[in-house]
Structure 1
Amino acid sequence: MSEHHHHELSGKKLFITIILNIIITLSQVVGGIFSGSLALLSDAMHNFSDVLALLIAYVANRLAARPNSEAKTFGYKRAEILAALFNASVLIGIAIFLIIEAFHKLYHPEVINSIWVIGLGTLSIVLNAASVLLIQDDAHDNMNIKAAYLHLLTDVVTSVAVVGGGLLMYYFGLFWIDPLISALIALYLIWASFGLIRESSAILMQFTPKGIDVDAVADTIEEETEIKNVHHIHIWKLDEKHIHLEAHLDFHENVTLLVSTAVIQKLEKKLYNDFHIVHTTFQCEYERDDNKEKIIQKSEEHKHG
């Protein structure tokens, strides 16, 4: 199967999955309003978070094919990160509102039409399970689709909890179960959204990627006999999967461009194999009087460039 065909297939499956989750979300919103069930509304918001996650994956799938340009030399690599940050922030706001409403309902329980809860919860389980099966194969090869796949799996679990609560309300009249389930789902939304905010913010702030040891990277570079010192190191993620590195290389001798190019080519291969660094920019130096620290402080960085 060609890569182009794989992109089209993934896009088509994602689109169908998005439609299924929009159906779930809208039906649960309507059902939550008519039944008075806050748990259904909370599950609807959880499904809505999946719609957003799937849309991000779908848009990223389409944008990935767009070439870079003079105006956009990195293309649209961070569009997904910006969207994830915005969506997670909105979802935290929604979740806080749901928790406040859940506490209100715990103190003032209301009779809920549990048939709606059971029926629409079951519909959510069936459609989410279908969505999981639909994108299961593509989740192995694409990080965006894998994230959406994991979202859908958790949706199945929360919908099972909603149906369980509906059954307890129907048979035993335990209506306080509804706001309790709602609060638990909302808390999960906050937990998942905070994780997404932390990850996307770290990428946008160009923090050193998690799991990358700067000292280990420096040691790997300095294993090359031609290199005396590596300093002024910056390591960051362009997007979710592309790690970039820039640094100054201080050579022992005034080597030719041919020698320095050979050294850099060896480094690129080692850094990719050991740290999954896909892009490097090295400034080669010899007997330059500058700060040789691995990480340069802001004032010094401005001074030396």
Structure 2
Amino acid sequence: MEEHKLQTGSRFLLVTLLNLIITLFELIGGLLSGSLSLISDAFHNFGDAFSLILSYAANRISRRAPTVKNTYGFRRAEILAALLNSLLLVFISLFLLTEVFKRFMQPATIHGKLMFIVAVISLVANLAATILLNKDSKHNLNIKAAYLHLLGDALASIGVIISAILITIFKVYWIDPLMTLLVSLYIIYEAWPIIRQTFSILMEESPQLNFEDIQKDLLTIPEIMGVHHLHAWLIDEHELVLSVHVNMADLPLSQTECVYLKIENILQKKYGVAHVTIQAECNRGRNTKLLIEKENFQNN
């Protein structure tokens, strides 16, 4: 595990350095060639470098052990980083869309051959950076947000190459802002689901669980006569936490613990719940609905 973390850290460092180099390279190439799509790609790469630094810092913070003040640990740091990175993507894309409008209104002459050379070199570097983070992006929202930055830049570089070829051969300069428009819209489209998911986690929305099925499964345990006040939320994109009140007969504590084990076994194996908090009651709340409502909360 530690070896994997070190490898991830090394990849973050290497990809960050790659992006800083690409940013400078594309910015100079864009200014010399007059290509808006190259300049926009440079902005995206600069955003990538910031994104990777933020993602790496959040990844390090998330590994800290729980404390008295943060009893669930610091894993939400990565969720915050994923949200900030995705919002940055959208902000940069919206800014570039305004530049696209200006370029459509005032077309500029572009040096197609120089644009092509810079774009090809940038594509190779972007693909290398994307490959480095591909594996980790499948299991971590934070790294996925950074990965999408890189993937967007790789696609942008392909678009710039196509634009450069068309500009060189046919002198169609409007293709440059058009490609910037398409890439910006694509990046917004890819970033939106991450924004929605991270916001959902931070707002502690209930995950995709069938609460009625959970209630039915818990009621199959002979000692349980009622299930109510069920809550579920995510600490990060992987760790699911659940709390529930159950009505039981007036049993000794030793027998109650056996029932708790049965509840935990069902919730962990069938529903993937990582941490369960159970409150046992005899008659209190027996007629309360499964999901707590405002009036029930006030009455209890």
TM-score, reference length from structure 1: 0.88
Q: CA deviation at 1:54?
A: 3.1
C-alpha separation in 2, matches of 1:132 and 1:88: 17
Corresponding position: 1:236 with 2:242: no
Corresponding position: 1:221 with 2:218: yes
Question: Gapped runs of 5+ residues in structure 2?
Answer: none
**Distance change in 2, residues 1:245/1:303 (3 Å):** same
Corresponding position: 1:277 with 2:277: no
Q: Deviations over 1:98-145 (max 9, x none)?
A: 112212212321111223421222122111222233344555665644
Partner amino acid, structure 2, of 1:238: I
User: Pairwise mapping of residues 173-188 of structure 1 onto structure 2 (< 5 A)?
Assistant: 173-188=171-186
Q: CA deviation at 1:10?
A: 1.5
Q: State the partner residue of 1:156.
A: 154
**Distance change in 2, residues 1:151/1:271 (3 Å):** farther
Corresponding position: 1:134 with 2:135: no
Decide which moves more: 178-187 or 222-231. Answer: 222-231
Decide which moves more: 228-237 or 217-226. Answer: 217-226
Q: State the partner residue of 1:7.
A: 5
**Distance change in 2, residues 1:82/1:138 (3 Å):** closer
SS of equivalent residue, structure 2 residue 89: helix
Q: Deviations over 1:130-181 (max 9, x none)?
A: 2233344555665644554455344323311111111111121111001111
SS of equivalent residue, structure 2 residue 206: coil
C-alpha separation in 2, matches of 1:86 and 1:143: 12
Decide which moves more: 289-298 or 184-193. Answer: 289-298
8 Å Cα contact 1:56/1:80 also seen in 2: no
Q: State the partner residue of 1:199.
A: 197
C-alpha separation in 1, matches of 2:290 and 2:171: 65
Q: State the partner residue of 1:250.
A: 247
8 Å Cα contact 1:229/1:292 also seen in 2: no
Q: CA deviation at 1:183?
A: 0.7
8 Å Cα contact 1:43/1:185 also seen in 2: no
C-alpha separation in 2, matches of 1:35 and 1:172: 16
Q: What's the Cα RMSD here?
A: 2.4
Question: Gapped runs of 5+ residues in structure 1?
Answer: none
8 Å Cα contact 2:59/2:78 also seen in 1: no
**Distance change in 2, residues 1:220/1:113 (3 Å):** farther
C-alpha separation in 2, matches of 1:68 and 1:204: 18
User: Pairwise mapping of residues 44-83 of structure 1 onto structure 2 (< 5 A)?
Assistant: 44-83=42-81
Corresponding position: 1:293 with 2:289: yes
SS of equivalent residue, structure 2 residue 68: coil
**Distance change in 2, residues 1:49/1:280 (3 Å):** farther
C-alpha separation in 2, matches of 1:287 and 1:27: 71
Partner amino acid, structure 2, of 1:61: N
Size of the alignment, in residue pairs? 300
C-alpha separation in 2, matches of 1:104 and 1:58: 36
**Distance change in 2, residues 1:274/1:42 (3 Å):** farther
C-alpha separation in 2, matches of 1:280 and 1:289: 19
8 Å Cα contact 1:31/1:116 also seen in 2: yes
C-alpha separation in 1, matches of 2:44 and 2:170: 26
**Distance change in 2, residues 1:275/1:87 (3 Å):** same
Decide which moves more: 140-149 or 227-236. Answer: 140-149
8 Å Cα contact 1:139/1:149 also seen in 2: yes
**Distance change in 2, residues 1:136/1:200 (3 Å):** closer
8 Å Cα contact 2:48/2:146 also seen in 1: yes
User: Pairwise mapping of residues 101-112 of structure 1 onto structure 2 (< 5 A)?
Assistant: 101-112=99-110
Q: CA deviation at 1:285?
A: 0.8
C-alpha separation in 2, matches of 1:18 and 1:219: 50
Q: State the partner residue of 2:118.
A: 120
**Distance change in 2, residues 1:92/1:151 (3 Å):** closer
Q: State the partner residue of 1:262.
A: 258
SS of equivalent residue, structure 1 residue 288: coil
Identity of aligned pairs, percent? Answer: 36
**Distance change in 2, residues 1:302/1:205 (3 Å):** farther
8 Å Cα contact 1:128/1:155 also seen in 2: yes
C-alpha separation in 1, matches of 2:103 and 2:195: 29
Q: Deviations over 1:169-224 (max 9, x none)?
A: 11211110011111111112222232222111101111112x32222222232222
